[in-house]
Amino acid sequence: MVAALHQQKAWTDSVPIMVDVLRMHPQQSARVRLRLGQIVLQYENRPHQALRVLQKIAPGELPENLEATRQQLMARAESQRDAGELELQAEDW
């Protein structure tokens, strides 16, 4: 379902489904968290939420290339947050 939404570029519509996946399968969540953090940052402009999602990925859970992507996303989110990007509320996903 998520892949089909992403093919249609329905990024925001995929977020609730991805959150459900995280809740149902927390032990296999690293790659889902990475993609969710990216979507929340790039398409919803929510750097605080992106940081919350990405920070929950434990060290060593991602292969080296994906860890580099996570670090880049976190740096971008921190920059946007520090620039004063406002959000109503960050959720605990």
Q: Please state the pTM of the whole predicted model.
A: 0.88
The single-letter code of the amino acid at 44 is E
| Confidence band of 88 (pLDDT split at 50, 70, 90) | low
Separation between Cα atoms, residue 92 and residue 2, nearest integer Å: 20
| Confidence band of 30 (pLDDT split at 50, 70, 90) | very high
Q: Which runs of E-coded beta strand occur in 1-93? A: none
Separation between Cα atoms, residue 47 and residue 63, nearest integer Å: 23
Question: What angle, 0 to 180 degrees and rounded to 10, lies between the N-to-C axes of helices 30-42 and 11-24?
Answer: 150
Please write the tens of the pLDDT for every residue from 70-87.
Answer: 999 999 999 998 888 667
- Tell whether the model's pLDDT for residue 26 goes beyond 90: no
Name the one residue in this structure whose structure tokens are 């790039």. Answer: 42
